[in-house]
Structure 1
Amino acid sequence: MVLTTSRRRRVLATAAAMITAVPLATLAALSADASVPSTPPGWTLQWSDDFTGPANTLPSTQNWIFDLGHGYPGGPANWGTGEIQNYTSSTDNIKLDGAGNLRITALRDGSGNWTSARIETQRANFKPPAGGKLAIESRLQMPNVTGQAALGYWPAFWALGSPYRGNYWNWPAIGEFDIMENVNGINSAWGVLHCGVNPGGPCNETNGLGASRACPGSSCQSAFHTYRFEWDESVSPKQFRWYVDGQQFHSVNQNQFDATTWNNMTSHAGYFLLLNLAVGGAFPNGVAGGSTPTSATVPGHSLVVDYVAVWSAGGGTQPTTTTTTQPGGSGWDAFADIQAEQATARSGGTIESAEGGQAVARLGNGNWLRFSGVRFGSTTARQFYGRVASGAADGVSGLVEVRLGSPTATPIGSFALANTGGWQSWRTVPANIAGVSGTQDVYVTFTSGQPSAYVSVNWIRFGT
């Protein structure tokens, strides 16, 4: 789901030929909740959602953010792809079906306006442990519609590099993994990598480096299939791999890229995952050879998702345990150490080694860290602690602030920081804060009168 107005696609001739080759899909009965598969030996489940819940309710806001409208605020129009639908959080467009599935449904009103839905994970730090592997997987059924009635349907399961949040103009350098894309009801799944610069560059933008194949056995539209992406740092050269129903159909190796391109898409905090059902846009238009949707396109069909799961293997401990082992299975314990590099999202800084682990280093004015769903419970926190270091030049200093709900909300507390003796000279600094309880989205923000970086953060926690 590339973020550029000049969207394209490879193998258009092949895809166009497939339109006439695909028979009308037969109606498939949806399976009951199949749940997340058992974790195989050597792997650790890092995060998952099997969409279990009452029918006609929204997916968990602890796990997901709802993208709304026609683009991110300040970002490219029409999500940068030319798609025409308006994304909503209405249960008309997105809901649990009560049978363990999520349904994202594209609808058209009497005036011809389309609506649908798009969600992205709160977590934005999915990446393999050093020297290990990461697997991102979903079992889903594409909208069960083919032929002329399917023109313009564009379901996708994909991942974007975390620095995209709050910037929206650094694509494709931050990386994009299209784990599953499909258009126009064709019996084919596309897997694509986007990287580097646009146009051209090592990922041949705006095409990306991609491959496609038909779904094994039953068509992609008539049945559930499992789509998986693996990021493998345990091999040399390091590798990305794409699978459908366990059958590999695409791979990309590190030695296909220069060091800067590879580092730009792999050395940041990680990736967030997205599920959406777009309508129209450059990809379906390019395959169809004309504008989509058309008057023949039939609304009301759904992308149906059984589960989404992320596993890691090898290479030491994946830095995600805070969000997967807390009571309730998600969120953060306010009174335990919350590792900065595990932030749900961040603006600025780099990941560096620190005190036997990692930290978000060299943060400056206007940068922030977000921790979604921090649980204070009924205990009121009145203290904030930051494990910080600074190698800032003389005269460079700034504030470390705590805000709730937004990076622009009024701070509930702060402390000032200048040079501590170096970027690895760590100290724990306390601050008084206004009383906080319940469950909150916590932002740690950084404000300075100088443009230079002035603080690295190892961890934060709260106290009474």
Structure 2
Amino acid sequence: MKTMIGLWIVTLIPLMGCGSDGQAANNPLVDNIIEVSPADLQFAAAGEEKTIRIKAAAAWALKDDGQTWYSLSANSGYVGESVVKITALKNSEEKERSAILSFTSGTNYKQEYLLKQSKGAIENYVPEGYSLVWQDEFNEGTTLGDDWTHEVQKSGWVNNELQNYVNGEVYGKRVTELADGKLNINCFKGSDGKIYSGRVYAKVNTGWKYGYFEARILLPKGKGTWPAFWMMPVGNDWNTNPWPMCGEIDIMEEVGVVPNEVSSSIHTQDYNHTKGTQKTHAMTIDRAEGEYHVYALEWTEDAITTYVDGKVQLAVTKQQLGSGHNQWPFHYAFYPILNLAWGGDWGGMNGVDESALPVTMKVDYVRVFQKK
């Protein structure tokens, strides 16, 4: 009997040390529950897929750090060997980026794993023959400069939108702010229950007649969001030249209820959405809500063409639509607009989800070019 007891004790100890139900992770004496190879990952700027191998003495979980430039093929595993594929998207930022993954097991064990990606480059989509005449890279200060004008309007002002446009700070938070070289347009719910957001105009008193206009933007997520980059005429007399007679150029619009589908439109007296005759084109962009993309307009005397990352979105000409003011009012200066609406006729067509708030539209830069 004594011999049998001794054998039982000897065989029990290793079982306790490597139980598949996570017991090893709860034992502070066990340090190497998870071994990962290679020790870290370095991705090329162009983007690629790589594999890590995990040897585990207990069940484990894997959590990302919330960044969207990479994805994981699995987020958990068991005792033994496992493989996880990690896919990195193309890096279009002019700086290296990194991420920290977290392996956990049981209640006591945590191990971090480093991902890095080489510095990329922002592609140049500007057509030949254009030179830069104005830009804002949002690299200086914490608030917008004198070239920008905030709209101030209550909810319901246009399109039955739910947000209140303000200038400055509301309940301790700004609707627009500069941080990390980006313009953040913030939409949030105040302590009074109202929704606040930002709408800003660049060079509202002068604008530009013809040119190539572009902005690099990361769109927010959430049912109810309605971000836009668009243009309206300078100094317009709304009594004699009302909308849509005055003309409108929508370079980019997106609604969170149809995520990652971006569109461009023009509106004129003869071609507008109230008649269902507006000229519009939409395309689905991979990770429009997770990555920066370049939205652009080339506007000449006879043509309007919009682009997403250098690809044509909408192309219309004066010859196609007609040369009269009711067909082609694009013969005077327009100014660029950036805004983040909430709800409304389009953004709220299927309702809104306030649990998504707060949300932010991020703008890396706005640039204007004209022909040399």
Specify if TM > 0.5: yes
The answer as to whether partners of 1:68 and 1:88 remain within 8 angstroms in 2 is yes
2:134 counterpart SS class: strand
2:218 alignment counterpart: 141
* Alignment match of 1:175 (pick from 247, 253, 256): 247
* Alignment match of 2:135 (pick from 35, 42, 48): 48
Q: How big is each residue's C-alpha offset from its partner over 1:283-342, in whole Å with a ceiling of 9 and x where there is no partner? A: 1233x2xxx3245x411110000001111115xxxxxxxxxxxxxxxxxxxxxxxxxxxx
**Is structure 2 residue 310 aligned with structure 1 residue 310?**
no
C-alpha displacement at 1:170, in angstroms? 0.8
* Percent of aligned pairs sharing the same letter: 25
1:184 counterpart SS class: coil
State the TM-score, normalized to the length of structure 1.
Answer: 0.50
Q: Which amino acid aligns with 1:58?
A: T
1:82 counterpart SS class: coil
C-alpha displacement at 1:38, in angstroms? 9.5
1:395 alignment counterpart: none
The answer as to whether partners of 2:232 and 2:334 remain within 8 angstroms in 1 is yes
1:122 alignment counterpart: 203
User: What does 1:57-456 correspond to in 2, within 5 Å?
Assistant: 57-60=142-145, 62-70=146-154, 78-91=156-169, 92-123=173-204, 124-128=206-210, 134-143=211-220, 145=221, 150-164=222-236, 170-184=242-256, 186-196=259-269, 201-203=270-272, 205-207=274-276, 208-215=278-285, 218-233=286-301, 238-261=302-325, 265-268=329-332, 270-286=333-349, 288=350, 292-295=351-354, 297-313=355-371
CA pair 42-155 structure 1, distance change in 2 beyond 3 A? same
1:28 alignment counterpart: 68
The answer as to whether partners of 2:245 and 2:326 remain within 8 angstroms in 1 is no
CA pair 227-299 structure 1, distance change in 2 beyond 3 A? same
CA pair 136-264 structure 1, distance change in 2 beyond 3 A? same
The answer as to whether partners of 1:36 and 1:50 remain within 8 angstroms in 2 is no
Q: Which amino acid aligns with 1:277?
A: L
**For residues 202 and 88 of structure 1, what CA distance do their matches in structure 2 show?**
31
CA pair 32-277 structure 1, distance change in 2 beyond 3 A? farther
1:151 counterpart SS class: coil
The answer as to whether partners of 2:126 and 2:212 remain within 8 angstroms in 1 is no
Q: Which amino acid aligns with 1:117?
A: G
**For residues 284 and 109 of structure 1, what CA distance do their matches in structure 2 show?**
20
The answer as to whether partners of 1:228 and 1:244 remain within 8 angstroms in 2 is yes
C-alpha displacement at 1:167, in angstroms? 5.4
Q: How big is each residue's C-alpha offset from its partner over 1:40-98, in whole Å with a ceiling of 9 and x where there is no partner? A: 652111211111123xx2111x210011122xxxxxx7332111111122252334443
Unaligned runs of 5+ in 2: 1-65, 70-91, 96-120
State the TM-score, normalized to the length of structure 2.
Answer: 0.62
**For residues 167 and 121 of structure 1, what CA distance do their matches in structure 2 show?**
23
The answer as to whether partners of 1:35 and 1:100 remain within 8 angstroms in 2 is no
Deviates more, 1:99-108 or 1:159-168: 159-168
Q: How big is each residue's C-alpha offset from its partner over 1:172-230, in whole Å with a ceiling of 9 and x where there is no partner? A: 1111111110102511111010111xxxx234535421110011xx4100000000011
**For residues 67 and 254 of structure 2, what CA distance do their matches in structure 1 show?**
18
**For residues 220 and 36 of structure 1, what CA distance do their matches in structure 2 show?**
16
CA pair 58-166 structure 1, distance change in 2 beyond 3 A? farther
Q: Which amino acid aligns with 2:153?
A: G
